[in-house]
Amino acid sequence: MIKNNAWFLLLLLSLMACKQRETIDPVAETFELNVPAYFGPYNDRIPEDNPITEEGFQLGRKLFYEPRLSKDNTMTCSFCHQQEKAFTDRRAVSIGVDGLPGKVSAMSLVNLMWSDNFTWNGKDPSIEEQALEPIQNPIELHQSLEAAIEKLEQANYQDDFEAAFGDPEITSEKIGKALAQFERALISANSKYDQYLRGEYQPTASERRGIELFYTHPIPGQLRGGNCGDCHLGPRTSGALEGFRGFHNNGIDSEETMDAGLYEVTGNPADSGKFKAPSLRNIAITPPYMHDGRFKSLEEVLDHYNTGIKRSPTLDILLKEGSNEIVNPNEPVDLGLTDQEKEDIIAFLHMLTDEDFVSNPRFSNPFTNAE
């Protein structure tokens, strides 16, 4: 009898504990990410305190397209990051809620899982922090987080926050986390280049030459290369992850005319003119190019690297030494590509366009598109 009572007591305590966990923890459905093995490990790229769940992703998606996050309820995150444009707006500099121009071009939101130090000058160390900045920025959505929270409360978002985080309270931290979950899930991995890496597509002769040129560091007289992959690394074609190693001065300005770039964040004069090397995924459909959108086409970009690099004290060593010609330190750095080689590199860059990514209904506006 005593043994039976003890067993019953243990069963009762176990049921109570389960019930308590159901009450405290969100009912979070696991979110499946379509990540190819050649992208590298990603579990350590997701913060332990903000795993991606189906509920968190869906809340972040709603917030991404929610005009209540702007001062006058007319603008959303998606205004500057439009899915059909690979989450850019194709403007040289973006326009905010008051019609005022910003200082930089809207970066493509793609494969952010493998990125650190966000925005062109790296001022935001995490997606969670970066996601909140446009809401408060006076040139962008121009609204306090307190006002945004009040609007979301009035719109009855409490159930969405409870589903995602196990608590109906709406906080700025949770807003940042939900947006980050959505943005981390924006993975582009089904371009022709991905299909080639999986053995599903055979590149044209020009595309194949472009791949080789893109990833080859040139050695004058020995090895011809485009010197692109030195900054846009690996299959993801994005910058290095460690610290600020993914930031470069790519010679678009002289010392007298260059923007501060990373120097604005670090205060180190050696970082003047350095900007984040973005992923080149979907680059063919995201003009204009560079942090200020100065180049309207990929042809202009290649022309810059071929004959337009300007020397300065902080010009990246990879450019100083990366040429198909013998480089004279007292003369401009010319990459020395032929017209055919430039065409081949551009052919490869077009291989990075992912039509599935820009049309995936999972990433679309939930208020106007039914899945």
Which CATH number does the domain housing residue 136 bear? 1.10.760.10
Residue numbers of the domain that contains 93: 26-187
Q: Binding residue per annotation — 80?
A: yes
Instruction: Check pLDDT > 60 for residue 18.
Output: no
pLDDT of residue 365: 97
Average pLDDT, the chain: 91
Would you say residue 256 lies in a domain? yes
Would you say residue 4 lies in a domain? no
> What are 108-144's pLDDT values in tens digits?
999 999 999 999 999 999 999 999 999 999 999 999 9
> What are 298-325's pLDDT values in tens digits?
999 999 999 999 999 999 999 998 899 9
Q: Binding residue per annotation — 291?
A: no
pLDDT of residue 369: 58
Asked if 257 and 120 sit in the same domain, the reply is no
Choose among 279, 297, 267, 167: nearest CA to 231. 279
**If you average pLDDT over residues 251-264, what whole number do you get?**
97
Percent of the chain with pLDDT over 70: 91
Residue type, 353: T
**If you average pLDDT over residues 64-88, what whole number do you get?**
98
pLDDT of residue 15: 41
Asked if 171 and 196 sit in the same domain, the reply is no
Domain's final residue, options 187, 204, 238: 187
> What are 80-107's pLDDT values in tens digits?
999 999 999 999 999 999 999 999 999 9
Domain's final residue, options 143, 167, 187: 187
Would you say residue 18 lies in a domain? no
Instruction: Check pLDDT > 60 for residue 332.
Output: yes
Q: Binding residue per annotation — 228?
A: yes
Would you say residue 12 lies in a domain? no
The pLDDT confidence band at residue 29, using thresholds 50, 70 and 90, is low
pLDDT of residue 330: 78
Percent of the chain with pLDDT over 90: 85
Would you say residue 19 lies in a domain? no
Asked if 160 and 206 sit in the same domain, the reply is no
Asked if 135 and 277 sit in the same domain, the reply is no
Would you say residue 363 lies in a domain? no
Q: Binding residue per annotation — 77?
A: yes
Number of separate domains in the chain = 2
Asked if 259 and 298 sit in the same domain, the reply is yes
Asked if 175 and 322 sit in the same domain, the reply is no
Asked if 174 and 236 sit in the same domain, the reply is no
Domain's final residue, options 156, 187, 218: 187
Would you say residue 36 lies in a domain? yes
Higher pLDDT, 370 or 217: 217
Asked if 161 and 261 sit in the same domain, the reply is no
**If you average pLDDT over residues 360-366, what whole number do you get?**
97
Instruction: Check pLDDT > 70 for residue 214.
Output: yes
Q: Binding residue per annotation — 18?
A: no
Instruction: Check pLDDT > 50 for residue 9.
Output: no
Asked if 162 and 272 sit in the same domain, the reply is no
